[in-house]
A and B are shown apart, each in its own frame.
Chain A
Amino acid sequence: MTTLKIPTPLRYYTDGQAEVTVNGPDVATAMRNLVEQYPTLEQHLYNGHGDLRNFVNLFLGENNIKDLQGLETPLNEGDTLRLIPSIAGGSDDFSRRRLKSLLQKLRRNTCSPD
């Protein structure tokens, strides 16, 4: 059994629990076990292809599993796994204002006097 620490935004889907117990010999199996226990979590953790979403980071102790064996990282009895989301976002590439600014720049360059 592994203890999995749940970040605040996902606790709504684990009945408010900040940590849950998951089973599995490796991280991939343990994560599947998590969504078997709490099915409404699945859409937030996995994309339509069955892969973990980009923002999911998993730490075994102090180590990001990306620096270990990824999802195949073995888990031992009593391990603690921590799920930490990357918080990210941003505006669209082009806004009307940016487009206007680019057009003004272009006009300056093409209409400048000789």
Chain B
Amino acid sequence: MSLHGTTMTLIISLDLLAQVHAHGEDAYPEEGAGFLLGSEEGGQRTVTQLFLTGNAREDEARHNRYLVTPENYLKAETTADSLGLSLIGVFHSHPDHPNRPSEFDREWAQPFFSYVITSINEGKAFESRSWRLADDRSKFEEERIISR
């Protein structure tokens, strides 16, 4: 659980994590997604706000795919800037599927970002785990979530 020689940790409040779970449950049986806004210091990231987005994929693909349009990306980044925060990651749900990144997740992943994935089992959020893409893009590495 280290990248660039530092221990990776994502700190998120219980309330914000509950909002991530609720967003996934609302989107079920489709995938839901959004951005994590916050700050980073020494490999430790703190989420202070969420930016919820819709799923721009076509209807028949939304059960196992999500897409955020460039326009929504720009809105999220502008919002983060205006609040003095940074975009530090993305969250999305895996309906009836484990909260591990898929090969498709890896192909489309951005470096640097934390990717929080929540399993939604039969409509109920089960658990979230967070991942970061390795520098050589070969795999994801898990980072510890601290929720308090």
Residues of A whose CB lies within 8 Å of any CB of B are: 7-13, 40, 43-44, 54-55, 57, 59, 64, 84-93, 95, 97-98, 101
Contacts and interface: CB of A to CB of B under 8 A. Distances in A.
Report which residue of A7, A86, A88, A98 has the largest number of chain B beta carbons within 10 angstroms of its beta carbon.
A88
Contacts of B141: none
Contacts of B121: 97
A90 B87 contact: no
Contacts of B102: 89-92
B138 to A, nearest CB: 10
Contact of B95 (A12, A85, A91): A91
Nearest to B105: A89
Report which residue of B35, B69, B70, B108 has the largest number of chain A beta carbons within 10 angstroms of its beta carbon.
B70
Contacts of A97: 96-97, 121
A68 B67 CA distance: 23
Report which residue of B33, B97, B135 has the largest number of chain A beta carbons within 10 angstroms of its beta carbon.
B97
Report which residue of A8, A44, A85 has the largest number of chain B beta carbons within 10 angstroms of its beta carbon.
A8
A10 B104 CA distance: 20
B68 interface: yes
Q: Mostly helix, strand, loop or mixed at chain B's interface?
A: mixed
Interface size class of B (residues with CB under 8 A): 35 or more
B97 A89 contact: no
9 contacts: A8-B86, A12-B111, A44-B137, A87-B108, A89-B108, A90-B66, A92-B64, A92-B104, A101-B96
A101 B122 CA distance: 11
Nearest to A98: B96
Nearest to A54: B108
A95 B105 contact: no
A9 B113 CA distance: 6
Nearest to B93: A91
A43 B73 contact: no
